[in-house]
Amino acid sequence: MTDTDITKESLAAPEPLEFLVPYTALPERLDKVIARLIPEHSRSRLQGWIEAGHVLVNGQPGRVKQMANPGDKLVVWEQAPPEALAFTPEDVDFQVVDQSSDWIVVNKPAGLVTHPGAGNWSGTLLNGLLYRYPELATVARAGIVHRLDKDTSGLLVVARHEKAQTHLIRQLQARSVSREYVALVHGLLTRPGSVKLAIGRDTRVPVRMAVEPAIAPKPAVTHYAPVRAGRIDDAAVTEVACKLETGRTHQIRVHMMSLHHPLVADALYGGKALGGASRQLLHARALSFDDYGSGQRVSFVASLAADFQQVLDDIAWNT
């Protein structure tokens, strides 16, 4: 069957699309036929449409591997790509710690993705910000200037207009935004210190970051200090305060792993779940920056998320 073996019928309404398989055509898999008919869409996306019931064969929902036979009538409802939802306002749950006419400080819950991306085109903090603050639609990335990992809780700042966004970005570049974190790590960490190791994409596992050697590594600096140590599930753990100079992807997680003290429950970087922890135990506790309007320093603190606090409460701390 060639590209011209099937003709699109003219319809009174522009949607859905209807195609007729000619009686002279040879049987062929439905997904292959549809992919040739609508080449502007990827085959994997079209398979998703079929599986979701958006393609009918002779009035019945199609199946990806079924054969499209001579005389079959194909009906296709074109679907918006998932990335089209990236900047759609949605009612997403998150806490606003404080706000001004220039910025919004958010306490992001664990499990909430900060910004849309592959596999997470909706239900993100960005979608929620656009729902609560429609004016952010005119600001790049809805005003988001830095991110937290999906399973990291805590504070981040959002700019409410372009000038405030530029002001905050310049502070980040100058390393004058103060960001302090609380982490629970494996093992007994006894002394404070700093990790100054560049971070880039892991050469073997694309979803991971790594210290050198890595793909396109960038300078990264993390200062850390042990707060207290104890045991849970018969394993030694240490509560650690971390302060960032830079903001590389997964920075604290990668740097603590480089010290052989991965975060508890951070499976991606060698951590194990202890005390019922279901996500990496990392919380952005404190944030401070220079206010765009007044030039004064403003500071914020967010209590630990309930699941993190529960693990800490269950630890037998050393006296």
**What is the pTM (predicted TM-score) of this model?**
0.76
Give the 3-state secondary structure of residue 88.
coil
State how far the Cα of 144 lies from the Cα of 165, in Å rounded to an integer: 8
Average pLDDT, the chain: 91
pLDDT tens by residue, 17-73: 889 988 888 899 999 999 888 887 788 889 989 998 999 999 999 999 999 999 999
d(CA 253, CA 242): 11
Per-residue model confidence (pLDDT) at position 146:
94
Secondary structure class of 129 (helix, strand, coil): helix
Give helix 43-51 / helix 30-37 axis angle, nearest 10°: 120
Interval 63-109: pLDDT, tens? 999 999 999 999 998 877 666 656 889 999 999 999 999 999 999 99
Q: Distance between CA 279 and CA 267 in Å, rounded?
A: 8
What tokens were used for 102?
């220039």
Give the C-alpha separation, 296 to 51, whole Å.
56
149 is catalytic: yes
Contacts of 265 (CB under 8 A, 6+ apart): 271, 272, 273, 274, 277, 278, 279, 280, 281
Q: How far apart are CA 132 and CA 89, in angstroms?
A: 8
pLDDT in tens, 237-277: 999 999 999 999 999 999 999 999 999 999 999 999 999 99
Q: Tell me how far CA of residue 159 lies from CA of 140, 179, 201, in angstroms.
A: 10, 16, 28
* Residues β-bridged to residue 299: 288
Which residue type occupies 107?
A: N
What is residue 230's three-state secondary structure? strand
∠ CA 147-283-229, nearest 5°, is: 145
Whether residue 224 contacts residue 241, with contact meaning beta carbons closer than 8 Å, is answered with yes
Peptide bond preceding 213: is omega within 30 degrees of 0, i.e. cis? Answer: yes
Tens digit of each residue's pLDDT (9 = 90 or more) over 225-235: 999 999 999 99
pLDDT in tens, 102-134: 999 999 999 999 988 777 778 999 999 999 999
Q: Which of these is catalytic: 31, 72, 102, 149?
A: 149
